[in-house]
């Protein structure tokens, strides 16, 4: 049952996992859901500024108001530059937003590897606009740890998207060398690896170390950026491929997007100096 919020708890505080000196507060209309699963605590709240929010272990994952920025920018740069993306895997992404964006192209198959089935159930209930693609016949949902899945999967993919939680809890395995080495081998020769790589301003070292790991596995590695206000500002993604340089998009994007367009594509790969140095180092 939705829980009315008492005047004493009208704000939701998102504490930072990387700094004790940082938090972000959202004024709450209503608390809609809270449960503890074997993997994490799932909460859904309705807020004045961002609408409904999905929160995992106290960290904002998705908001109704700005999820388009994150999901479009995770998906479209790679989909636009790959010559023929047909087989796609999404690791994490149980809210459905990434699959929804991929389905704007004529793909043959999407595997969604989400460790926590309850994230999908709760998103189905509270975020139907995000999960509408999950029932598509081309989508196979596999509820397991992405780090185990990469070891068992035998097929090859055109693009693998890592749409995970932060690199703590179950998401920590998805930035380890072991996972990246095996995962990179699941790509076709012109395949693309794209991961959400956190806030580059506050945890520049994370972006740096992830970059270094991918540079051992891929010839082309590029960081790109988007503005996601509910995540605290600028957000980074990392693109990697043996053959495809994302700087020259080949196709026009699907109609009806709200963030991504050809100008943003080019602009998002332009980095401020503090990141440019990191991204160009080996
Ligand atoms: N937009 C998001 C962000 O950056 O805040 C990511 C959202 S999506 C909900 C992240 C999902 O990754 C969660 O549902 C979580 O259960 C899933 N996840 C975390 N670790 C995982 C793992 N090792 N294998 C598969 N899924 C995982």
Tell me if the pTM is above 0.85: yes
Calculate how far, in angstroms, residue 243's C-alpha sits from the geometric centre of ligand 1.
28
Helix or strand run (H / E) with residue 177: helix 177-184
Residue 99's pLDDT is: 98
Residue 138, CA atoms < 13 Å, CB-side half-sphere: 18
Q: Is the CB of 196 under 6 A from ligand 1?
A: yes
For CA atoms 257, 260, 263, 265, the dihedral sign is negative
pLDDT at 4 over 80: no
**Ligand 1: residue whose CA is nearest its atom 18:** 92
| Residue of the CA atom closest to atom 20 of ligand 1 | 171
Band of the pLDDT at 62, cuts 50, 70, 90?
A: very high
Query: What is the percent of the chain with per-residue pLDDT over 70, rounded to a whole number?
Result: 96
- Strand pairing partners for 46? 30, 52
CA distances from 44 to 12, 110, 119, 212, 218 (A): 11, 26, 11, 35, 38
Residues in Cβ contact with 98 at an 8 Å cutoff, skipping those fewer than 6 apart: 71, 74, 75, 90, 161, 163
Residue identifier of the C-alpha nearest atom 8 of ligand 1: 93
Catalytic residues: 163
**Segment 162-208, tens digit of pLDDT:** 999 989 888 999 999 999 999 999 999 999 999 999 999 998 899 99
DSSP state of 112: E
Decide whether any atom of ligand 1 lies within 6 Å of the 184 Cβ.
no
CB-ligand 1 contact for 119 (6 Å cutoff): yes
Q: Which has more confidence, 250 or 91? A: 91
What pLDDT does 9 receive? 64
Atom from ligand 1 closest to the CA of residue 170:
20
Phi first, then psi: what are they for 171, rounded to 5°?
A: -70, -20
- What span, in angstroms and rounded, lies between the C-alpha atoms of 223 and 269? 7
Most confident of 14-18, 201-205, 252-256: 252-256
Collapsed DSSP state (helix, strand, coil) of residue 24: strand
Nearest CA to ligand 1 atom 16: 116
């Amino acid at each position: 049952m939705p829980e009315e919020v008492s005047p004493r708890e009208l704000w939701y505080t998102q504490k930072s996992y990387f700094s004790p000196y940082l938090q972000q507060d959202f004024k709450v209309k209503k608390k809609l859901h809270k449960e503890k699963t074997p993997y994490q605590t799932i909460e859904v709240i309705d807020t004045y500024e961002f609408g409904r929010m999905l929160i995992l272990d106290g960290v904002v994952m998705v908001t109704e108001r700005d999820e388009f920025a994150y999901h479009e920018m995770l998906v479209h740069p790679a989909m636009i530059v790959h010559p023929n993306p047909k087989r796609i895997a999404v690791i994490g992404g149980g809210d459905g937003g990434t699959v929804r964006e991929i389905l704007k192209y004529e793909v043959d198959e999407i595997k969604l590897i989400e460790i926590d089935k309850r994230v999908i159930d709760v998103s189905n209930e509270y975020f139907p606009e995000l999960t509408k693609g999950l029932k598509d016949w081309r989508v196979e949902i596999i509820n397991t740890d992405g780090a185990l899945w990469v070891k068992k999967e035998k097929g090859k993919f055109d693009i693998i998207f890592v749409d995970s939680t932060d690199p703590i809890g179950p998401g920590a395995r998805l930035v380890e060398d072991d996972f990246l080495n095996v995962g990179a081998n699941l790509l076709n020769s012109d395949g693309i690896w794209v991961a959400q790589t956190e806030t580059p301003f506050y945890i520049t070292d994370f972006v740096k170390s992830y970059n270094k790991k991918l540079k051992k596995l891929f010839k082309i590695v590029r960081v790109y950026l988007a503005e996601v206000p509910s995540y605290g500002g600028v957000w980074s993604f990392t693109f990697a491929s043996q053959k495809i340089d994302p700087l020259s998009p080949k196709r026009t994007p699907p109609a009806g997007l709200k963030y991504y367009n050809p100008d943003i594509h080019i602009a998002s790969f332009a980095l401020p100096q503090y990141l440019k140095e990191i991204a160009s180092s080996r």
